[in-house]
Amino acid sequence: MISNRLQAIAAFIPPAKRIVDVGCDHGYIIIEAFQKYQIESAVALDNKAGPLSKAFNNIRGYGFFDRVNFVLSEGLEQFYAQADAFILSGMGGLNIINIINNGLDKLGQARLIIQANRHAFEVRTYLTNQGYYLVNEELIFEGGKYYEIELFEKTEEPVFYHEDELYFGPLLLARKSEIFMNKLRHDLRILKAISHPMPKHLKTIKRIEEILC
Ligand SMILES: C[S@@+](CC[C@H](N)C(=O)[O-])C[C@H]1O[C@@H](n2cnc3c(N)ncnc32)[C@H](O)[C@@H]1O
């Protein structure tokens, strides 16, 4: 059984049938995608041989093994196929932005499934500036950490988000689910424990308090 985080990431794959897992490491997302979402093919891509061979070894026992390409690549540099969904998860947001920015011409109309460990605001800002909008968002709490999982798609009609939406996630902010409110309380505790808060910390404290009250 794979983690709730990985299951939630894979749940954003349909209706995509050809997926690329950028930074695949263990390859579990690809296994989940074949088993649960009947994808046709996958690319397991990583920039390090160790993680890529981990994915290779984890996937090779399955019947769909011959429908997976294993690609050693820095970002999308060595990716030349076409796909309906790119998954970039478990990496820092700035790294994710860098990978996407260097591979923009390879993305076509594919959906992007993103779970950035940090800098989600920067990722949302960057992608909306590139003509994407947020189709769905999911917040997962696992192992004492919160994970924001985001589904972006290309749009012809630009969608504008205000700063709070980019900061907290527009759909998460609108839904105000229990887990989202718990995350805000958690973030607020951390921010209030900073002994010499900077103006950006004070601004975030104010924003969170406004949402919570
Ligand atoms: C922490 S793992 C996350 C694995 C999986 N995506 C997940 O969500 O559990 C990050 C993986 O991304 C790979 N990675 C980091 N930067 C990369 C880049 N620029 N291009 C390709 N792979 C990268 C790392 O080698 C590592 O295997």
Beta bridge partners of 44: 21, 70
Cα(139) to ligand 1 centroid in Å equals 20
Q: In this model, does residue 204 exceed pLDDT 90?
A: yes
* Mean pLDDT value across the chain: 97
Q: Can you tell me the mean pLDDT for 140-165? A: 96
Q: What's the pLDDT at 1?
A: 78
Q: What's the pLDDT at 66?
A: 98
Query: Whose C-alpha lies nearest to ligand 1, atom 7?
Result: 90
Domain hosting 31: range is 4-160
Q: pLDDT tens, 125-147?
A: 999 999 999 999 999 999 999 99
Encode the chain in three state secondary structure. CCCHHHHHHHHCCCCCCEEEEECCCCCHHHHHHHHHHCCCEEEEEECCHHHHHHHHHHHCCCCCHHHEEEEECCCCCCCCCCCCEEEEEEECHHHHHHHHHHCHHHCCCCEEEEEECCCHHHHHHHHHHCCEEEEEEEEEEECCEEEEEEEEEECCCCCCCCHHHHHHCHHHHHHCCHHHHHHHHHHHHHHHCCCCCCHHHHHHHHHHHHHHC
Cα(91) to ligand 1 centroid in Å equals 6
Residues 106 and 183 in one domain: no
In a domain, 170, yes or no: no
Q: pLDDT tens, 44-101?
A: 999 999 999 999 999 999 999 999 999 999 999 999 999 999 999 999 999 999 999 9
Q: What's the pLDDT at 127?
A: 98
Q: pLDDT tens, 172-182?
A: 999 999 999 99
Query: Whose C-alpha lies nearest to ligand 1, atom 4?
Result: 25
Cα(42) to ligand 1 centroid in Å equals 16
Q: pLDDT tens, 88-98?
A: 999 999 999 99
Query: Whose C-alpha lies nearest to ligand 1, atom 19?
Result: 75
Which atom belonging to ligand 1 lies closest to the Cα atom of 74? 20
CATH of the domain at 70: 3.40.50.150
Q: CA-to-CA distance for 206 and 46, rounded, in angstroms?
A: 40
Residues 191 and 153 in one domain: no
In a domain, 16, yes or no: yes
pTM metric for this prediction: 0.97
